[in-house]
Amino acid sequence: MDQKKDDTTDLAQTVFSILGYYENEVSIGAMDRGTAQEKAKEQIRVLRYGAQGKDYFWINDLRPYMVMHPYRPELEGQDLSDFSDQNGTFLFNEFVSEVTSGGDGFVPYYWQWKGNCKASGGGVGSPPLSRGT
């Protein structure tokens, strides 16, 4: 599990690089903030990793509202503060707490199975390893 946490942390650096690139474009006046945010979202939306190429990144803000989710676009723009998993974990609130209290961290929760919104890991959910940063 420690190796997976290290790998996930390393992979997050890819997203930070993308965000840094677009932030620089805004700071030098090459792009307005709205355009840069849209371009960054779309570039991050298509990123996949893992053995089956189904692991992904999503973006939520600190309210928490979903900014971008590649498998669940219907959540985009939605308030996620009341969104909980099958065990009652308010996962997006937990991610916000991790980020605002210490910068980043891992949150245990259950989610849909391998991008299939109707399946949940054999009926009990899929415990992913996700890092809030």
Closest among 76, 65, 85 to 126, alpha carbons compared: 85
Any idea which residue has 């937990």 for tokens? 94
Domain that holds residue 117: 2-132
Length of the chain in terms of residues written: 133
pTM exceeds cut of 0.75? yes
User: Do the Cβ atoms of 69 and 97 come closer than 8 Å?
Assistant: no
pLDDT tens for residues 43-76?
A: 999 999 888 888 899 999 999 999 999 999 999 9
Q: How many domains does the chain have?
A: 1
What is the distance between the alpha carbons of residues 25 and 77, in angstroms, rounded to a whole number?
25
CATH classification of the domain holding 123: 3.30.450.20
pLDDT tens for residues 78-91?
A: 999 999 988 898 99
Count other C-beta atoms under 10 Å from residue 33's C-beta: 12
